Amino acid sequence: MNPSTPDTVGALVELGRQALILSLWLAAPVLVASLAASIVSGFAAWVTQVQDPAVGLAPRVAAVAAALALFGPHIAHELSVFGTRLLEAIGTVGAT
């Protein structure tokens, strides 16, 4: 079977689509935590009228660290599962 057959191309396109969707889902918890911390720290800076950039940076860093600590094992598991599927698909495509 030729590597450029429609089945092979379709499988590769599907893997690319799954990779993009997975990257969005895995980045979402960290991005949402950063957004929430930015909104809260921005509101706090507005209320107190403190204009120091560290006031906004410290909560964001803490929120991202907490999100990574909380969701890190899930992210690693999902990446491992996808990597296994990807390697299996590469082996299948290479064997045809």
Residue with tokens 């911390």: 37
- What CA–CA distance (Å, rounded) separates 4 from 70? 42
Tally of CB atoms within 10 A around 73: 9
| Residue 1 within any structural domain of the chain | no
| Whole-prediction pTM | 0.76
| Residue 12 within any structural domain of the chain | yes
Work out how many domains the chain is built from and give that number.
1
- What CA–CA distance (Å, rounded) separates 17 from 80? 17
5 band by pLDDT with thresholds 50, 70 and 90: low
From the list 79, 64, 72, 58, the residue with the least C-alpha distance to 30 is 64
| Residue 24 within any structural domain of the chain | yes
**Residue 90 confidence (pLDDT):** 81
Full residue range of the structural domain in which residue 15 is found: 6-95
